[in-house]
A and B are shown apart, each in its own frame.
Chain A
Amino acid sequence: MVEAIAMAHAWEMQADPRVVVIGQDVGANGGVFRATAGLQQRFGETRVQDTPLAEAMIAGMSVGMAAQGLKPVAEIQFMGFIYPALDQIINHMSRMRHRTRGRLSCPVVIRTPHGGGIHAPEHHSESTESLLCHIPGIRVVIPSSPARAYGLLLAAIRDPDPVVFLEPARLYRAVRQEVADDGRALPLDVCFTLREGSDVTIVTWGAMTAEVLRAVAELDEDGVSAEVLDLATLSPIDSATILASVAKTGRLVIVHEAARNVGVGAEIAALVAEHGLYDLQAPILRVAGYDTIMPLFRLEQDYIPSVRRIVDAVQATLAA
């Protein structure tokens, strides 16, 4: 996945001279995960800039650059370090267009690694996407494969509004997939159906798609046909696709790594309760991270929803 991300950057930098890449260690080092590898060598130190070490500054300078006609693609090194940038994201980036009545805008992409499972140090395994999804005026996008990382990142950079692009850290090097470097974007604001099925709908995103697909393979053996939706754009939510799927299957399980409390799963459950209640044959279930701090890595696999927990939840909803 990490190569697909670098490739999407390169394509769009070549195609659009307004695209500028900024962040800590994105230049000579090519990013701590190598997601910007080779870009500075190819596009120079003006268009690929190592910034001073300050996250609020990265977000704030992105606002200024974007309002004046550039398209900054900014890396925040880990999601645990995005919090100082939230002031700029919430108070300026998200509302520049709205408060100037369309006169100025903020076509910024903020990329940041998401989630745990990579044996990282403290503060390096965050999945706090629901904080971002609560901000009006910000799109929140997360890919679940190299091809979707390529296509969605292109879409995010081309989008006229700010996008926070979350990159599942444990997928960076987990899966290999040939990705055509053809500059073709994937659509934002829609789910991707990873697998069709008739008994239950499972909605998930990011790295959890891996556990969900393994759970679904197990369920297959038990004769359970699960439909899997990759949410992909976490805000705004593609409720039409989810509601259509639930209308077909009558059951919904939502799986996310982030803590359950006020997670994105709650929003999906509420949408289905509001608009699809009569299609449901069983209560909606969520399989999520616990409402505590993501533990350091000795216990992190006990925090991340396991295949076992997902299978059990699906079986529970079928038994209901």
Chain B
Amino acid sequence: MPSTDNLVEVENVNFAYDSRQILKGVSLNIRRGQVVAIMGLSGCGKTTLLRLIGGALRPSRGEVRVDGRVVSKMHHDELYALRRRMGMLFQFGALFTDMSCYDNVAFQMREHTDLPEEMIDDLVLMKLQAVGLRGAHQLMPAELSGGMARRVALARTTALDPMLIMYDEPFAGLDPVSMGVIGELIRRLNDTLGATSIIVTHDVAEALDLVDYVYFMSDGVVVTQGTPDELRVSDKPFVHQFVYGETDGPMPFHYPAEDYARDLQTEDGR
């Protein structure tokens, strides 16, 4: 049984794809009821961390605990039982393209419950109403804009009222209006469902207005953490660079490479 206020505990986790080390000893805690952002540049291991929490990957070292239980030690059935209490919003929605919006939202209800169709009908329309798309329930995913698809995916993610909702880059590729709508929905759904949310994003402005706590990651480790207010006034070079989008700073803009002059075959470089 859970002994702490933390729903998710990540302790000294290492993970590598083949020889490429992605996470190098990450530790962080997600408190129950909070909306927590994990920020960092693309490729710093944020999405990998979500997959570790969801049990899709196993850490090479360290432990991920959800609701007091170690995810990597769970059997298939236990893991699936845990996932029924989790929701994950994928970067581009990952809606089932052969099903209508309605059937997408109804999918988990039909797979995991014995609810009669009339009740599923009511629940699906309520979920779609919450994201403002009840009127679009008959549309197919191909007929939706990027923002609408993300909202339908959000309705599908919350279909079974999960205790933990994970968002993988929920703002990527959205216009400012859709971004604001999605941000507001994330906060509202978290609070009304009494859930806990983890948002992986590099959209600083949107996330800082929305979340309760932030972890900054770089190069596979957590480099700093704090509340949005603490981070806004932080004088740490890393945070400053990220929050204000500066190219010069501790986070390198260039991928590691040979000497530039030598690559260009200049006189000096020869």
A binds B: no
B residues sitting closer than 8 Å to A (CB atoms) are: none
A residues sitting closer than 8 Å to B (CB atoms) are: none
